[in-house]
Structure 1
Amino acid sequence: MTFRTTLLMTQCVTHDVLRFIVARPEGFAFEPGRVDEALLKRLIVDWDQHFYVCGPPPFNDAVMLALRQLGAQPEALIFEQ
């Protein structure tokens, strides 16, 4: 089973919406580009959910700031250190 298949099966079972943004999309069916305020605003419809962010510290800081500016609650922001 491929990683992509595992992710899609997880999405079907949990009814969660999984979105992945990658820097090098060759061979993947993921959305390319950077995670910025415009992308978050376009993709997120439920601002009352929890947000888990994982990446290098500058990435985490930028995404957390954008999420807060767009209306996410600070206590709903979870990031890996």
Structure 2
Amino acid sequence: MTDDDIDRLVGKLDLEQKARLVTGASVWRTSAEPDIGLRAMVFSVGRPSVVRGHIRVTALESALPHSAIKPT
């Protein structure tokens, strides 16, 4: 995806939708914008072995390779 693609998608959003992109849905989750194909994302803090956040992230939901996720 190029910068032009991103500019085109963001250009489809109204001011309220753009504000949601930078404020988030909660402390740990971004807002989804289905009109442009953007899913909500979950963030966390901490070392990979001691991740704190809203929910437990499984290997299928993580951006990390499966081998980097160790079961607790």
Shared fold (TM-score greater than 0.5)? no
TM-score, length-normalised on structure 1? Answer: 0.28
The structure with the greater share of residues assigned to helix is: 1
Larger radius of gyration between Structure 1 and Structure 2: 2
- Which of structures 1 and 2 has the larger relative contact order (alpha carbons within 8 angstroms, sep 6+)? 1
